Amino acid sequence: MADYIETIPQDKFDMYHFREGESVKHECDSVGSVLGHCTILDRRPLPLDKSGEIDFYAWSKDFTGLPSNSYEWQYLFFYSWSACDNTPVGAAKRIRHFLEQGLPKDWQKQMEGDASLSCYAPPSYIR
């Protein structure tokens, strides 16, 4: 996911919405978030909600193993990131940081812009 999301141009990325418009395609052809764009990485049928749109919460749980009510999911994919780090580069860095070092203790403060982003700091083993 990190490698792919870095290829998305900034003008096609926004953590606030999974996708703009209505689409059930694997490929996001609008402005979208990490989850909105990364469905292209999964060739299985996408789960649909009652209105016939992609159920991004169900898809992300199946694809990542993280339920949307978990702190880990919120650190990686929550829309609040749009206020302080609304970039595909930042999203990729958060994914890699999480895989290498786990969930930062102050993740909520980071997401709210009240703490420096640990994903931009060098890994602790380099210091």
Instruction: Please give the Cα distance from 67 to 31 (Å, whole number).
Output: 24
Q: For residue 127, is pLDDT > 50?
A: no
CA atoms within 13 A on the CB side of 13: 21
Residues 105-113: what's their mean pLDDT?
93
So what's the pLDDT on residue 123? 59
Residue 98 backbone phi and psi in degrees, to 5: -60, -45
Q: Where are the domains of the chain?
A: 2-120
Cα dist from 71 to 8, 68, 124, whole Å: 25, 8, 22
Instruction: Please give the Cα distance from 61 to 4 (Å, whole number).
Output: 18
The whole-chain average pLDDT of the chain stands at 92
pTM for this prediction: 0.90
CB-based burial of residue 88 (10 Å sphere; 0-12 exposed, 13-18 middle, 19+ buried)? buried
Give the highest mean pLDDT range of 18-22, 36-40, 49-53, 113-117: 36-40
Residues 18-31 pLDDT 10s: 999 778 899 998 99
Q: For residue 62, is pLDDT > 60?
A: yes
Q: For residue 124, is pLDDT > 70?
A: no
So what's the pLDDT on residue 122? 66
